[in-house]
Amino acid sequence: MDESDPRPQLTTEAGLSEAIDSGDFKRACEAVKKTIHSVLNVPRVSIWLTDKDTASLCCLDHNSATPITPNTCDLSALNNYINALEQTGVLSIDEESQSPGAKDLIQEYLQPSNAVSLLDTAIYRDGCLVGILRAESLDEVRNWAEQEQALLVHMSDLLSRALIARDLESLKSRYAEVKAVISNTQQQIIELEKMATLGNLVAGVTHEINTPIGIGITTISHLEFLTSQIEQAFTAGSITEKHFNTYIHSVNEACQLLTDNLNRAADLIQSFKQVAVDQSDDTFLLINLEDTLKNITNSVRPELNKKYQTKMKLTCEPHIHFKSCPGSLAQVLTNLLINAGIHAFDQHHKDRKVCINAHKANDQIIIEVRDNGDGVPFELQPKIFEPFVTTKRGAGGSGLGLNIVRTLVQEKLKGSISMESQPGEFTTFIIRLPSL
């Protein structure tokens, strides 16, 4: 043993440290009791902790075959004992001890428990006394050696460390639980946002589809009228070549008008259908970027035009194919585009525009969504993707939209998103995706 080190050198030090730092406080107590019992050769080792109200000391653990009596001590009756213990760090007590602190414990514990000699040291947590580590002799008065006292102090320090490990493990477990709840809640919010987005798109697309259908119905009614007129002229034998040529010309115009508007309605329905299908599927697929962006913008355009009076322009480098999750990409871009309509412009802003530019750069797909709106205040820019940050707090903004966008980009699309903004001029969101 190194005489310069007052702490006994324990052959079980490695195993003891592992038990102390395991986070299992009961296991740590067992290791400490076993070590003290072995090295000090005492029949009873007990560990006491204060209760939640710090009104009592309660025996948490001991190595005795018989119950400890009493197993609870009222701290208000041990003021002198606690003060003495805090001052000296370790107390040796037997029937002959005369200090006020010793007399408290003789009456409260030593005599009722049939112990003959005690060696006590304090257990601290965050600088506060939270317990007692006690070695007990039951058959003879022990003259506790300096190294024996040092051992007990060392063991109490280890128990303090074990309490920290236990609390840390508890915090880790609680953190994992909270993280799981947050993740589940966030996923629910994403799903709700997805449904709300689709609901808004339905309203916009429905209105937009009504226009070509309305034109089609009007055109068919006009065709029916022209056909009725030409039929009457034919029946009466008064039809002329001029009448017939005029009718043919009108029919051709009507057919072209019907074809254009029905195709327009069909394209809108197809785009919306594709976006709706994409948003319900988290599968990674090989996609054509230009076609995907056209479907998304065609679905969003009616709502931007009707509700927010905002024009949209798409520019995409052709022939870009890469693996991605079209559902999450559709939700991200839909949120950004609608977000621009809601937040980018004040009510007096004219010539509202949102431009989407997409291209490939090295091993990345770059998609930029840029508006010519009012920009984001400088003080909000560093935390724009944080939850509950919004410039429309008083107008119903929740501040979750961009947080959801970032989550989808990072976790679903395995990419990154950033923002650049100049107040009074523009805001640009830049999405970078791997070109797998």
Q: Is residue 66 part of a domain?
A: yes
Helical residues (DSSP H) of 5-145, grouped into ranges: 13-20, 25-40, 79-88, 100-105
Backbone angles phi, psi at 71, to 5 degrees: -105, 5
Q: Is residue 127 part of a domain?
A: yes
> Which of 172, 193, 224 is a domain's end point?
172
Q: Is residue 374 part of a domain?
A: yes
**Are residues 306 and 164 both part of a single domain?**
no
* CATH number of the domain bearing residue 41: 3.30.450.40
* CATH number of the domain bearing residue 430: 3.30.565.10
Q: Is residue 198 part of a domain?
A: no
For 125: left if phi > 0, alpha if psi spans -120 to 50, otherwise beta; the answer is: beta
Q: What strands, in cross-sheet order, belong to the sheet with 56-62?
A: 72-74, 56-62, 44-50, 128-137, 117-125, 90-94
Q: Is residue 159 part of a domain?
A: yes
DSSP per residue over 306-354, as a string?
A: HHH-EEEEEEE-SS-EEEE-HHHHHHHHHHHHHHHHHHS--TT--SEEE
pLDDT tens, the chain, 436 aa long: 444 444 444 445 667 888 898 889 999 999 999 999 989 999 999 999 998 777 888 988 888 776 788 888 888 888 888 898 888 889 999 888 888 888 888 888 888 888 899 999 999 988 888 999 999 998 889 999 999 999 999 999 999 999 999 988 888 888 888 777 767 776 676 666 666 655 655 655 666 677 778 888 888 888 888 888 888 888 888 888 888 888 898 888 888 888 888 877 776 676 565 555 555 556 788 999 999 999 889 888 888 888 889 999 999 999 999 999 888 898 889 889 988 988 888 878 889 999 999 999 988 999 999 999 999 999 989 888 887 676 654 444 456 678 788 888 988 899 999 999 999 899 999 999 998 7
Q: Is residue 166 part of a domain?
A: yes
- The number of domains in the chain is 2
**Are residues 150 and 293 both part of a single domain?**
no
**Are residues 167 and 285 both part of a single domain?**
no
> Which of 127, 155, 172 is a domain's end point?
172
> Which of 123, 150, 172 is a domain's end point?
172
Residue numbers of the domain that contains 117: 13-172
Q: Is residue 301 part of a domain?
A: yes
Q: Is residue 181 part of a domain?
A: no
**Are residues 162 and 303 both part of a single domain?**
no
pTM of the prediction?
0.48
- The three-class DSSP label of residue 54 is coil
Q: Are 50 and 75 spatial neighbours (Cβ–Cβ below 8 Å)?
A: yes
